[in-house]
Structure formats: C-alpha cells, structure tokens
Amino acid sequence: MAIVFVQQKNNQRNLIIVLVGVLLITLLVLYQGFFKKSSLESSFEQTSLSGQTREIKIDFTVLKNPLLENLQPFAEIAPLEIATSTKYGKVGRENPFLPY
C-alpha cells in the first residue's frame, strides 16, 4: 500500500511542476503581448510626434502600357431572371419557412 501512495504523490508533484511551468509561460506571453511596448508602436509615436508626414505618390504611367490598352472586356452576363414558374415547373414556395 505504501508504494501506491508514494507513486500518487510523485504523480501529483509532476503535475504541479507542469502546471507551474504552463502558468509561467502564460504570464510571459501576456507580458510580452500587453505590457511591453512594441517597436512598431514606438516608431509610430516618433513619426507622429515629430510632425513629419510623407506624401503619397501614385504612378499612373503603368496603366498606359500598350499591353493593357489592347485588353478586351468580358461580355456582359445577363442577370438571372426571377420567375415564379418556368418551363420546368414552379420555382420555390411562397413561404419557404412553413413545414410541408
């Protein structure tokens, strides 16, 4: 009997060590994610505080490429006609939520 109790105590001690390890890893991840300032946030604060803004320039000369000018648009697809009946019979039900 004494061997069984010692084995259970060893199992419990191992489980407690694993639990403490998982808690430490969780706390470390939470600290890194929430409390530590990231480099992206600090660089954003530096640019916003210094008042320097960059002008956005869009290069539209790419659209004047002769290959793009030769492209043909797709044929327009007609929308599906919604009808209460077709040549195959009635489509749908008046109230689809009613049981059969």
The predicted pLDDT at position 34 comes to: 82
User: For 84, which DSSP code?
Assistant: S
CA pair distance 41, 24, nearest whole angstrom: 26
DSSP 1-31: -HHHHHHHHHHHHHHHHHHHHHHHHHHHHHI
Q: How confident is the model at residue 33 (pLDDT cuts 50, 70, 90)?
A: confident
CA pair distance 13, 19, nearest whole angstrom: 10
Percent of the chain scored above 90 by pLDDT?
Answer: 21
For the stretch 62-89, pLDDT in tens is: 888 889 888 888 888 877 665 555 566 6
CA pair distance 6, 48, nearest whole angstrom: 63
